[in-house]
Amino acid sequence: MTATTNGIHHITAIAGDPQANLDFYVGVLGMRLVKRSVNQDVPDTYHLFYADAAGNPGTDLTFFPWPQLPPVKSGSGLWSEVYLGVAPGSIDYWGERLQAHESTGVVVGEVEARFGERVLPFRDPHGMPIALVEDELYGDFSFAPWDRSTVPPDKQIRSLAGVRLVERRAEPTTGFLQRAFGFDAVASDGRLQRYVVGEGKSGQRIDLVVDEDAPQGQWGVGAVHHVAWRAADDEAQAALRHAIAQAGGRPTPVIDRFWFKSVYVNEPGGALFEVATDGPGFTVDEAHDSLGESLVLPHWLEPKRSAIEAALPELSLPQAQR
Ligand code: ZN
């Protein structure tokens, strides 16, 4: 049997200024800061996690704020646009809301149709391409609306709906997607070739753009760093890890991130994938009500807490989450 994933677990991107990041994702997009931590490999850098009220897998967009980096060089072997899922009928609300917040640096595009769905593309204040998509959740997907959001519950961002990937050549990436993760090609719309797992609903999609002339992409501010895919438990993660190796990938060992366990692999074109377990989740080290309010460190960094805190810029939560 082919190993498969249920869909996206989380997406991690590179931001500029951390306060601008917080102000936009909490204050404007109305997401909840569910974890305030540091990059475990670079602990003088924040790692900020935004999600639904519960931090459910499939809702979590995270950032490393690295304002000293140059802007992303878009191109081959990089994830590009991130799709955020909203309920059908919400796009007009979002168009007005984003336009009212243009002072944050957000650049709002025109509503368009992709694969028969209404989509609103925009660039966040760090230049990252995002598209709001009116689409449907899949079978067991959980979304917990947040009652302290600046956005009404029925308009809130419900999911990481999908992601775009740019490659110079379709193969060998498409073969890897199929054999390692169980993605199948289902349709194309203009330059986009859609690959799906499961029911192909919100969070179960990769849109591939093949561009022979694309330069090699390079991480920078506004880049997607990696896309993590769901594994229900350790066993499902081991099966995916095995399938990745069978497909010619070189997965890392399992790394304990405490909120989930992670395996990383670069696909043949270079883009970074992760396989993350659904559990134990963000309430393993903080109470549900106070998620994101204080700095959480991995245990081996606790002895250095005061030096780490002193090196990090101060952050002030937007009114909505105080
Ligand atoms: Zn990750």
Please tell me the distance between residue 12's alpha carbon and the centre of ligand 1 in angstroms. 6
Contact 32, 59 (CB under 8 A): no
Please tell me the distance between residue 100's alpha carbon and the centre of ligand 1 in angstroms. 32
List average pLDDT for each run of 10 residues in the chain, which is 322 residues long: 86 98 97 96 95 98 97 97 98 98 97 97 98 96 96 98 98 97 97 97 98 97 98 97 97 96 98 98 96 94 96 88 52
Question: Which DSSP string corresponds to 35-86?
Answer: EEEE-SSSTTSEEEEEESTT--TTSEEEEEE-TTSPBPB--BTEEEEEEEEE
pTM of the entire predicted model: 0.97
Phi, psi torsion values for 276, nearest 5 degrees:
-120, 140
Asked if residue 130 is part of any domain, the answer here is: no
Please tell me the distance between residue 273's alpha carbon and the centre of ligand 1 in angstroms. 8
Q: Could you tell me the residue range of the domain that residue 209 belongs to?
A: 8-84+135-150+159-321
Contact 291, 35 (CB under 8 A): yes
Please tell me the distance between residue 260's alpha carbon and the centre of ligand 1 in angstroms. 9
Contact 75, 215 (CB under 8 A): yes
From residue 310, alpha-carbon distances to 38, 68, 232, 307 in Å are: 13, 18, 38, 5
Asked if residue 36 is part of any domain, the answer here is: yes
Asked if residue 252 is part of any domain, the answer here is: yes
Query: What residue ranges in 135-237 does DSSP mark as E strands?
Result: 159-167, 184-189, 192-196, 205-210, 224-231
pLDDT of 3:
75
Please tell me the distance between residue 96's alpha carbon and the centre of ligand 1 in angstroms. 32
Which residues lie closer than 8 Å to 191 by C-beta, 6 or more apart? 209, 210, 211
What CATH number does residue 62 fall under?
A: 3.10.180.10
Q: What are the beta bridge partners of residue 188?
A: 193
Please tell me the distance between residue 253's alpha carbon and the centre of ligand 1 in angstroms. 14
- Which one-letter amino acid corresponds to residue 236? A
pLDDT of 103:
96
Asked if residue 267 is part of any domain, the answer here is: yes
Asked if residue 172 is part of any domain, the answer here is: yes
Total structural domains within the chain: 1
pLDDT of 226:
98
pLDDT of 1:
52
